[in-house]
A and B are shown apart, each in its own frame.
Chain A
Amino acid sequence: MRAVFFLAALASVLAVLLICLFLFGNGVPALLKIGIFKFLAGQEWAPSDVPPLFGILPMIAGSLYVTACALILGVPVGILTAVFLARVCPPRLYRFLKPGVDLLAGIPSVVYGFFGMAALVPHFHSSILSAGILLGVMILPTMAGIAESALRAVPEHYYEGALALGAGHYRAVFRVILPAARSGVLAAVVLGMGRAVGETMAVIMVAGNQARMPNSIFQGVRTLTANIVMEMGYAAELHRGALIATGVVLFVFILLVNLCLSALNRRIT
């Protein structure tokens, strides 16, 4: 029976191998045919031109801008919310706020998208800013949850020591506990970044999806994820290969993020 359980446990390993095999197997040939440099650094995405142009730099830039915008808005609020949950919140309020944060994490991305279409797009148009605000809210609960447990893991005598040295409550929290939990808080930010880069549906609904280099945050932009969903339905041959290669770029980026995360987690334990 031990073997049966072991085989079940190997399913995750098999899944990762299959995902790598099929993604790289289908994406890399197209990547080589287009040329890695032309693909990654090309500023024109025009799959129906003759000859077609497959440059995904606008999408890479789009993903980075949207993610940066989401982090700028989401990280401070997320970490401060974590501080509030872990160290400030009265227990009575906690009983409502904590499930509320969990619920915020559980709202499906299409629902966020519908919200964004009606509440953000009329004010900020379909733009980097709209997508950034929406993503900032979406990654907030993830970051708050992880950062909260990191803050809670800091031994209580750190806090008591700070108080004994004359620090006030908030000074002790911000100057002693927060720095002591920095690896965990950083892990929360990295995880939020991974979420933001990988988010698809909500972004498609508010970002405008124009495949061109953006000049300002009020312009529409297409992310890597949006590129795949928008065109996979009708793409064929090299165009299809280029979309899968877009997925490969996204996948490699997420693998790098995961690598950072596990390095951080090792430092925590």
Chain B
Amino acid sequence: MKRISPSETFMAAITWAAALLTAGALLYIIGFILWRGVPYITPSLFAPVYNSINVSLLPALVSTVMMAVLSLSFALPLGIGAAVYLAEYARRGNRAVRLIRLAAETLAGIPSIVYGLFGMLFFVVWLGWDFSLLAGSCTLAIMILPLLLRSGEEALLSVPDSYREGSFALGAGKLRTVFRIVLPAAIPGVLAGVVLAVGRIAGETAALIYTAGTVAQIPPDVFASARTLSVHMYALSREGLHTNEGYATAVVLLLVVIGINVIAARIAGKIGGAHERV
């Protein structure tokens, strides 16, 4: 029989222990939030109007959706446009390309509170938009731009060159090839990026407190203040009066995030086999 050395056993033990610890942390956190929050999920939590007695989360839920739609409508065209430039037009190693990549990497590393500060100084004060849905969503648009850019570029690069060659051979120009052939084939990858971006928007707090403000209402227009679910939770924890409702809100937010992750994984799973049939 093969003898297994003690050091081998030790290394196996610590590796398995670390994996167990990670899985345990995940299960403990999710279990804990569910256990504390689920008993307090009541119909009144979904009342159409928020007030200090019934801290309804519905306005925050609607604001979150509006925030996500607005941010994406700013960031998606820029992100896809940039991805098309990098993947289809730019020559590799070109100076502008290096600069763009450096900028995108820098953006990806900036913490959300710095985005919040910038959004406050630029959109809220300098452009005079006050605390508003618009200022918040523009701030978030910059924040998710590098994510959309990278996922878009990866999606475009994963489209086989035979697609482009086929299109050119049939007499299509560059632009037509990009819009009719390459982009449609890259949609799943782009979509996966969009879903991840929605997750970041739903979870964002620090970048929104001083750009979109914290008014708990369904914003009548884009110049009104609005709080998303995450900001709503933070506000509840600050007030300290409705902590249980805070946990119930955490459950809703957690379910949204889990849903988003499942969708992203589904899409990513589909991409894996999408181009193999060609």
A254–B22 CA distance with the chains assembled, in angstroms: 27
B115 vs chain A, min Cβ distance (A): 8
Of B17, B78, B145, B204, most buried by chain A (CB within 10 Å of CB) is: B78
| Nearest B residue (CB) for A167 | B8
Contacts A6-B89, A99-B261, A198-B113 given; indicate if A115 touches B29 (C-beta within 8 A).
Answer: yes
Which of A10, A23, A194, A258 is the one whose CB lies under 8 Å from B117?
Answer: A23
B124 vs chain A, min Cβ distance (A): 11
B14 vs chain A, min Cβ distance (A): 6
B193 vs chain A, min Cβ distance (A): 14
Can you spell out 19 A-B residue pairs with CB atoms less than 8 angstroms apart? A5-B81, A5-B82, A8-B77, A8-B84, A9-B86, A11-B82, A12-B145, A13-B103, A15-B103, A84-B18, A88-B12, A97-B23, A102-B261, A110-B230, A170-B8, A251-B110, A254-B110, A254-B114, A257-B109
Determine if B110 and A6 form an interchain contact, defined as CB atoms under 8 angstroms apart: no
Chain A residues with CB under 8 Å of B250's CB are: 110-111, 114
Tell me whether B47 is interfacial, beta carbon within 8 Å.
no
Of A7, A12, A18, A251, most buried by chain B (CB within 10 Å of CB) is: A12
Tell me whether B52 is interfacial, beta carbon within 8 Å.
no
Q: Which of A69-122 contact B (CB under 8 A)?
A: 76-77, 79-81, 83-85, 88-89, 97, 99-104, 106-115, 117-119
Determine if A111 and B254 form an interchain contact, defined as CB atoms under 8 angstroms apart: yes
Chain A residues with CB under 8 Å of B8's CB are: 168-171
Which of B19, B25, B79, B112 is the one whose CB lies under 8 Å from A104?
Answer: B25
Q: How many residues on chain B are close to A (CB under 8 Å)?
A: 86
Tell me whether B203 is interfacial, beta carbon within 8 Å.
yes
Interface of A is mostly: helix
Chain B residues with CB under 8 Å of A173's CB are: 11
Contact indicator per residue, chain B 97-123, by CB within 8 Å of chain A (1) or not (0) = 001101111110111111111101110
Tell me whether B163 is interfacial, beta carbon within 8 Å.
no
Chain A residues with CB under 8 Å of B129's CB are: none
A114–B244 CA distance with the chains assembled, in angstroms: 10
A250–B112 CA distance with the chains assembled, in angstroms: 11
Determine if A19 and B260 form an interchain contact, defined as CB atoms under 8 angstroms apart: no
| Nearest B residue (CB) for A116 | B29
Contacts A84-B16, A201-B206 given; indicate if A103 touches B258 (C-beta within 8 A).
Answer: yes
Determine if A108 and B85 form an interchain contact, defined as CB atoms under 8 angstroms apart: no
| Nearest B residue (CB) for A114 | B250
Tell me whether B140 is interfacial, beta carbon within 8 Å.
no
Contact indicator per residue, chain A 189-204, by CB within 8 Å of chain B (1) or not (0) = 0010010011111000
Determine if B234 and A110 form an interchain contact, defined as CB atoms under 8 angstroms apart: yes
Chain A residues with CB under 8 Å of B106's CB are: 16, 255, 258
Chain B residues with CB under 8 Å of A107's CB are: 29, 203, 254, 257
Chain A residues with CB under 8 Å of B115's CB are: 19
Tell me whether B133 is interfacial, beta carbon within 8 Å.
no
Chain B residues with CB under 8 Å of A97's CB are: 19, 22-23
Determine if A261 and B254 form an interchain contact, defined as CB atoms under 8 angstroms apart: no
Tell me whether A216 is interfacial, beta carbon within 8 Å.
no
Chain B residues with CB under 8 Å of A103's CB are: 26, 257-258, 261
Determine if B260 and A6 form an interchain contact, defined as CB atoms under 8 angstroms apart: no
Which of A26, A174, A258 is the one whose CB lies under 8 Å from B109?
Answer: A258
Tell me whether A225 is interfacial, beta carbon within 8 Å.
yes
A222 vs chain B, min Cβ distance (A): 13
Tell me whether B61 is interfacial, beta carbon within 8 Å.
no
Which of B11, B81, B121 is the one whose CB lies under 8 Å from A22?
Answer: B121
Chain A residues with CB under 8 Å of B26's CB are: 100-101, 103-104
Determine if B103 and A12 form an interchain contact, defined as CB atoms under 8 angstroms apart: yes
Determine if A251 and B107 form an interchain contact, defined as CB atoms under 8 angstroms apart: no
Of A102, A108, A244, most buried by chain B (CB within 10 Å of CB) is: A108
Chain B residues with CB under 8 Å of A83's CB are: 15, 18
| Nearest B residue (CB) for A171 | B8
A251–B107 CA distance with the chains assembled, in angstroms: 11
Chain B residues with CB under 8 Å of A12's CB are: 82, 100, 103-104, 107, 145-146, 149
